[in-house]
Amino acid sequence: MKHLSLALLPFLALSGASSGGGRPRAAAEPADFARLKALAGTWKGTAMAGTPDAFPVEVDYRLTGGGSAVVETLFKGTEHEMVTVYHCDGDDIVLTHYCAAGNQPRMRLSTPGAQELVFEFDGGTNLDPATDGHMHVGRLEFIDADHINTRWSFYSGGKPDHDARFELQRENPKSKLQQIGYLGGK
């Protein structure tokens, strides 16, 4: 067994070195991605999607892949559950939205360093953007550490159709002392 492990070592080293392909990894994580990671937890609030009637909503954010991706889950456990995964692509931040419409639009951050992060359509799967309905622009506005507003623009026939708006508050806000690391707690 020891000899087999030693024999495999060069192959494992080469597979890690050659799997990079595409863009080089950023030397440091973009500050905006750290802001997205800080969303980890449960958020509750109201949503309006295509109608003037607001309804209650819960959104969960969690880290995966050793902190290399942020997973946003909307309408968890329902037939309309949707997941958006944010991650870095070199120095850029990108997302893939796994939509209840059955398509997967990809977006790229177009406003780095702003209070409102704007992600714009950058391709996708299972959709023709000229004809099919899909999320085309996503916006996250950071009000403070415990409040965010998001707006998702749905396009149909190649043009804006309606927006889905969410006003969210962190379910269990950290105290200011916890935020700066003075007190324990998650």
Residue 16 lies in a domain: no
pLDDT of residue 186: 46
Instruction: Name the domain count of the chain.
Output: 1
Residues of the domain holding 103: 23-48+55-179
pLDDT of residue 28: 73
Each residue's pLDDT expressed in tens, for the chain with a length of 186 residues: 555 444 444 433 444 444 445 555 555 789 999 999 999 999 999 999 888 899 999 999 999 999 999 999 999 999 999 999 999 999 999 999 999 999 999 999 999 988 999 999 999 999 999 999 999 999 999 999 999 999 999 999 999 999 999 999 999 876 544 554 554 444
Residue 84 lies in a domain: yes
CATH number, residue 125:
2.40.128.20
Residue 4 lies in a domain: no
pLDDT of residue 2: 52
Residue 18 lies in a domain: no
The DSSP result for the chain, as a single string, is -HHHHHHHHHHHHHHHHHS--SSPPPSS--HHHHHHHTT-EEEEEEEEESSS--EEEEEEEEEEGGGTEEEEEESTTSTT-EEEEEEEETTEEEEEEE-TTS-EEEEEESSTTSSEEEEEEEEEES--TTTS-EEEEEEEEEEETTEEEEEEEEEETTEEEEEEEEEEEESSPPPHHHHTTSS---
Residue 101 CB coordination number (10 Å)? 18
pTM of the shown model: 0.80
